[in-house]
Chains A and B, each alone.
Chain A
Amino acid sequence: MEALDRVVKPKTKRAKRFLEKREPKLTENTKNAILIKGGNANLTVTETLKDIYALKKPFAVLYKKKNITRPFEDQTSLEFFSKKSDCSLFLFGSHNKKRPNNLIIGRMFDYHVLDMIELGIEKFVSLKDIKNSKCPEGTKPMLIFAGDTFDLNEEYRRLKSLLIDFFRGPTVPTIRLAGLEYVLHFTAMDGKIYMRSYKVLLKKSGCKIPRIELEEMGPSLDLVMRRTHLASEDLYKLSLKQPKALKPKKKKNISHDVFGTSYGRIHMQKQDLSKLQTRKMKGLKKRPAAKMTEEDEGISPKKLKSV
Chain B
Amino acid sequence: MAALCVEELLARAEQPHRSVAVEKELELEFDLGNLLALDRNAPPSVPRAAGAQRESRLRSLARDNTQLLVAQLWGLPAGRAEGATGPLVAQLPEPSYRLPREKPLPRPRPPTRWEQFARLKGIRRRKRTSLVWDEAAKQWRRRWGYERAGGDPARDWLIEVPAGADPSEDQFAKRLRDKREKVAHNEFNRLRNIARGALPGRGLHPTGHQSRAELGRATQVARVSTASLGRFQPRLPKEPAAPPPGGGKKRHFEPLLGDLAAERSRQLELLRGLGSKKPPLDLTRAVNKQLREEDAQAAAGKGRKRGQRGKRGRQRPGGGKGPAGGKGKKGGVRRQQQRPAGRKRS
Q: Are B58 and A185 in contact (CB under 8 A)?
A: yes
Contacts A7-B191, A177-B88; A147 near B42 (Cβ below 8 A) = yes
User: A209's contact among B35, B65, B70, B104, by CB below 8 Å, is which?
Assistant: B70
In the bound assembly, the distance between CA atoms of A146 and B191 in angstroms comes to: 54
The stretch that binds B, out of A52-60, A161-169, A291-299, is A161-169
Q: When the two chains form their complex, are residues A209 and B20 in contact, meaning their CB atoms are under 8 A apart?
A: yes
For residue B17, which residue of chain A has the nearest CB?
A: A211
- Least CB distance from B169 to A in Å reads 34
Q: Which residues of B contact A190 (CB under 8 A)?
A: 45, 47
Tell me the smallest distance from the CB of A8 to a CB of chain B, in Å.
11
Interface string of B237-265 (1 = CB under 8 A from A): 00000000000000000000000000000
Interface string of A189-204 (1 = CB under 8 A from B): 1100010101010111
The smallest beta-carbon distance between B10 and chain A, in angstroms, is 13
Out of A4, A25, A176, name the residue touching B88 (CB < 8 Å). A176
| Contact pick for A216, options B59, B97, B101, B209, CB 8 Å | B59
Q: Is the CB of B62 within 8 A of A240?
A: no
Residues of B close to A34: CB separation below 8 A: none
Complex CA gap A238/B191 in Å reads 29
CB–CB B62/A180 < 8 A: no
Q: Which of B17, B70, B88 has the most CB of A within 10 A?
A: B70
> Which one of B66, B98, B106 contacts A23 once the chains associate, using CB atoms below 8 Å?
B106
Which chain A positions have C-beta within 8 A of B62? 144, 146, 183, 185, 196, 198, 214
> Which of A42-50, A65-73, A106-114, A256-264 is the contact stretch?
A106-114
Chain A residues near B194 (CB-CB < 8 A): 5-7
Is A196 a contact partner of B34 (Cβ separation < 8 A)?
Answer: no
Stretch from B73-81, B114-122, B148-156, B308-316 at the A interface? B73-81
Q: A24-B105, A239-B100 are in contact. Are A178 and B88 (CB under 8 A)?
A: yes
The answer on a CB contact under 8 Å between B101 and A211 is no
A114 proximity list for chain B (CB < 8 A): 100
A140 within 8 A of B: yes
On chain B, the residues within 8 Å of A214 by CB distance are 59, 62-63, 66
Q: How large is the interface on B (under 10, 10 to 19, 20 to 34, 35 or more residues)?
A: 35 or more
Measured between alpha carbons, how far is A241 from B66 in the docked complex, in Å?
31
Given A171-B95, A205-B18, A210-B70, does the pair A176, B40 have CB atoms closer than 8 Å? Answer: no
A2 to B65, CA, bound (A): 45
Q: How far is the CA of A5 from the CA of B107 in the complex (A)?
A: 12
Interface of chain B residues 13 through 46 with chain A (CB within 8 A): 17-20, 33-43, 45
Q: With an 8 A cutoff between CB atoms, is B291 at the interface? A: no
CB-defined contacts of A26 to chain B, threshold 8 Å: 106
> Given A144-B65, A176-B87, A2–B41 Cβ distance below 8 Å?
no
Asked if A177 and B39 make an inter-chain contact with CB atoms under 8 angstroms apart, the answer reads no
The listed residue (A164, A174, A183, A208) touching B66 by CB distance below 8 A is A183
**Bound CA–CA A178/B74 (angstroms):** 10
Bound form: Cα–Cα A210–B19 in Å: 9
Asked if A25 and B106 sit within 8 Å, CB to CB, the answer is yes
Known: A164-B34, A214-B59. A145 touches B109 (CB 8 A): no
**Count the A-B residue pairs with Cβ separation under 8 angstroms: how many?**
196
Give the Cβ gap from A134 to chain B, nearest Cβ, in Å: 17
CB proximity of A301 to chain B, nearest CB, Å: 65
Q: Chain A: which residue is nearest B93 at the CB level? A: A173
Complex Cα–Cα for A198 and B18 (A): 19
Is B170 close to A, CB under 8 A? no
> Which B residue's beta carbon lies closest to that of A30?
B102
CA distance A239 to B251 in the complex (A): 52
Using CB atoms, name the residue of chain A closest to B22. A212
Shortest A129–chain B CB gap in Å is: 14
Report Cα–Cα, A16/B199, bound state, in Å: 24
- A183–B35 alpha-carbon span in the complex (Å): 9
Contact partners of A107 in chain B: CB under 8 A: 100, 102
- When the two chains form the complex, which single residue of A108, A144, A211 contacts B39, counting CB atoms closer than 8 Å? A144
Indicate if A151 sits at the interface (CB-CB under 8 A).
yes
| Complex contact B66–A211 (CB within 8 A) | no
Contact between B41 and A172 (Cβ–Cβ < 8 Å)?
Answer: no
With known contacts A185-B65, A210-B70, A212-B66, A148–B41 Cβ distance under 8 A? yes
Q: Would you list the 8 A-B pairs with minimal beta carbon distance, nearest first?
A: A239-B100, A88-B102, A24-B103, A185-B62, A146-B39, A24-B106, A142-B35, A212-B67
11 more contacts with CB within 8 A, not counting A24-B105, A28-B102, A196-B58, are A29-B102, A31-B102, A110-B104, A112-B209, A114-B100, A146-B41, A171-B33, A177-B90, A190-B47, A214-B63, A242-B101
> Contact residues of B with A, CB < 8 Å?
17-20, 33-43, 45, 47, 58-59, 61-63, 65-67, 69-71, 73-74, 78, 81, 87-92, 94-95, 97-106, 109, 191, 194, 197, 207-209
* 28 residue pairs from A and B, CB less than 8 Å apart: A2-B106, A6-B194, A24-B106, A28-B101, A28-B103, A88-B103, A110-B104, A112-B207, A140-B35, A143-B36, A145-B38, A161-B99, A168-B34, A175-B73, A176-B87, A176-B90, A177-B89, A180-B35, A183-B62, A183-B66, A185-B62, A196-B62, A198-B66, A211-B19, A214-B59, A216-B59, A240-B98, A240-B100
